[in-house]
Chains A and B, each alone.
Chain A
Amino acid sequence: MIRFALAGLAANKVRSGLTMLGVLIGVASVILLLAVGNGSSAAVKNSITALGTNSLTVSSGAGGGARTASTVKKLTVEDARALADQANAPDVKSVAPVVTTSAAAVYGDISYTPGQVIGTYPAYFETANQKIATGDYFSNDDVLNSRKVAVIGSTTAKQVFDSEDPIGKKISLGGTPFTVVGVLATKGATGFNDPDDVVIAPLPTVQNAFTGFGSVSQILVQATSADTTTAAQSEITQILMGTHQLTDPSKLDFRVSNQTSLLSARESTSQTFTVLLGAVAAISLLVGGIGITNIMLVTVTERTREIGIRKALGAPKAVILGQFLTESTLLSVLGAGLGVAVGIIGSHFSVVGIKPVVIPSSVFGAFGIAVAIGLFFGSYPANRAASLRPIDALRHE
């Protein structure tokens, strides 16, 4: 029976091939698009662990409720000092005020603008999960003495120094010379921005050269453990309400955000994205199924006479039905099989910076659905073929 079906399909190679292509694209796109969606949420998960689950970010700005800009008190280094007080905030392990700016880095005749120039305390490295690959971190001593030293990210190092060893070299940031003391380990892009494209220098040095000694952009706080982040969060809120002279907890001029909650929001976004991609792919699979119906109808019409001959030779209805169902199922099985292969091969390439991660259930699911579609959409033409009266079928020209 399968041999008959194969011969039937081989009789119209181009047509069968194109129909299979429809199913192939459907199945491959289901697998591939779901893998891309899954890959992007996996990347988000990775960046959660990369950022550290026990870090908290304090940033200025209205957390809730309308509030005019003039009444917003900016975060200052004093706020950071208050948070570092062990008596008031027992769950806070370390505090790092952060200022960010942008400046061109010049080395020799190379000028390159890194993504961010960050001024902070050494505690930042641990809190933000930034590890040194070569050289060393700058020290508290460097901060106290406003030394012009910097730690640079791996992307920046590659752009500015190419293959040269950056340690000990001087780069000019906005006219101020900085000595590179360390290069950070590569964290890898999360798909949205490059965390390796940074220059990190002591806070007072950056304030002196760029931002001035006013406010800071953020205060990065590390809780003593992942379990105490909630406690640390409320301690921070209490302390900052004190320093900012606020009484109403619903009208804060700062925000304490938990990295985990921030990223879980991003993860749910990427899940929505996955569902959307899956829906698009499912539609293309459905279109492939309709393609099968179309081709099988054409085949039935074209082979009406052959069906008549077979009936005259005594083929029972079930055999004719079986033959055409086998053909359509074979089309979908072959198409789906090739689609699975293409999907899995395709997922080895990264798409728009996202490394696709194949979901095994999507492979079986897409294959199963494609085969079911072949059976379902093939049954109508097959039934039509089997129900033909032999005399009508034989007379068909």
Chain B
Amino acid sequence: MARRSRKPQPAAAVTPAGPPPPVIRVRGLTKSYGHGDATVHALRGPEDPVDGSPLGVDLDIEQGDFVAVMGSSGSGKSTLMNILGCLDVPTTGRYLLDGTDVGHLDEQQLSLVRNRKIGFIFQSFNLVPRTTAMAQVELPLAYAGVRAAERRRRAEAALALVGLADRADHKPNELSGGQQQRVAVARALVTAPAMLLADEPTGNLDSRSTEEVLAIIDGLNATGRTVVLITHENEVASHAKRVLRLVDGQIVSDLRQGPVDGPPPVLAARQSATRQAGQLIGGAR
């Protein structure tokens, strides 16, 4: 995997002309469940200093960034992820995705946004049962109305990118957890979305598969894809360029670990290591 993700040269790929608009701009976002006294604020942001009412979460995510959202369970990180993924609607606040205010979109347009702009990776893989890997990856393209031949070509490319070209005809129950998650990654990136949303993508994986999946995500980010990743493992968060910590529906810390337009920290470190090794072994290629 590491070999494959080395191919694109990140330094050359990302050359932003001026500061690009943020992929995600969130203002005063709150989400609450229930009514009256039983109201639970899953997302609240800082409290209003005057009357103590929640002001909501503010957040900007730049194009090409790799953000890890951390927090214990119940901290509101999944709620944030669902809203960012247009799977759920906020109680209050504005959410601009790629410059579009998604609050004004109807059901039909929202499904279009999910299809074109967002690629999901779930903790439990969420592959469609009884469907081959190839068909899984073709699915979002089919919903986008891409023609069969083109669909197949792009799905093959996406599967090759995650190293599963030889597993295209396998159904989910014939694949290991790591392979299933890699199919899910291929499915998420096949539409070339504005951002990848990963909800604890490695939560159900063993350490080897975790490595593989994170390496792919690193590689995708290195080619300029915006990634928002939810996790509660520090190990996973160390791959991100920016780490947000959520506690009780508030962002309590925002830590930058690497530059927005550079490679992700782990990949950068490994690249410098493999570059040295490559000079020793792979020079003939």
Contact = CB atoms under 8 A, between A and B. Distances in A.
Contacts of B274: none
Contact of A314 (B126, B129, B144): B144
Nearest to B190: A313
Interface in A138-175: none
Interface string A296-314: 0000000001101111111
A310 B108 contact: no
B233 interface: no
Given A390-B87, A391-B82, A391-B88, A313 B129 contact: no
Given A390-B87, A394-B87, A313 B112 contact: no
Interface stretch (A25-33, A315-323, A346-354): A315-323
Contacts of B144: 314
B114 A313 contact: yes
A314 B140 contact: yes
Contacts of A313: 114-115, 120, 139-140, 143, 187
Task: Tell me if A's interface is mostly helix, strand, loop or mixed.
Answer: helix
B129 A316 contact: no
B130 interface: yes
A255 to B, nearest CB: 74
How extensive is the interface on chain A, given as a class?
10 to 19
A309 B143 CA distance: 12
B114 A314 contact: yes
A316 B108 contact: yes
Contacts of A262: none
How extensive is the interface on chain B, given as a class?
20 to 34
Contacts of B159: none
A276 interface: no
Interface string B114-132: 1110001010001111110
B235 interface: no
B107 interface: yes
A394 B131 CA distance: 18
A7 interface: yes
A317 B114 CA distance: 13
Contacts of B108: 316-317
Contacts of B115: 313-315
Contacts of B116: 314
Contacts of A305: 126
B85 interface: yes
A239 to B, nearest CB: 86
A99 to B, nearest CB: 79
Given A315-B111, A316-B112, A317-B111, 14 more contacts: A7-B130, A7-B131, A305-B126, A306-B128, A310-B139, A312-B120, A312-B126, A313-B139, A314-B111, A314-B112, A314-B116, A314-B140, A315-B115, A389-B88
Question: Sorted from nearest, which 8 A-B pairs have the closest CB atoms?
Answer: A314-B115, A314-B114, A391-B88, A391-B87, A313-B140, A316-B111, A390-B87, A309-B126
24 contacts: A7-B131, A11-B130, A306-B128, A306-B129, A309-B126, A311-B114, A312-B85, A312-B114, A312-B126, A313-B114, A313-B115, A313-B120, A313-B140, A314-B111, A314-B144, A314-B191, A315-B115, A315-B143, A316-B143, A317-B108, A319-B143, A391-B82, A394-B87, A394-B122
Interface of A: 7, 11, 305-306, 308-317, 319, 389-391, 394
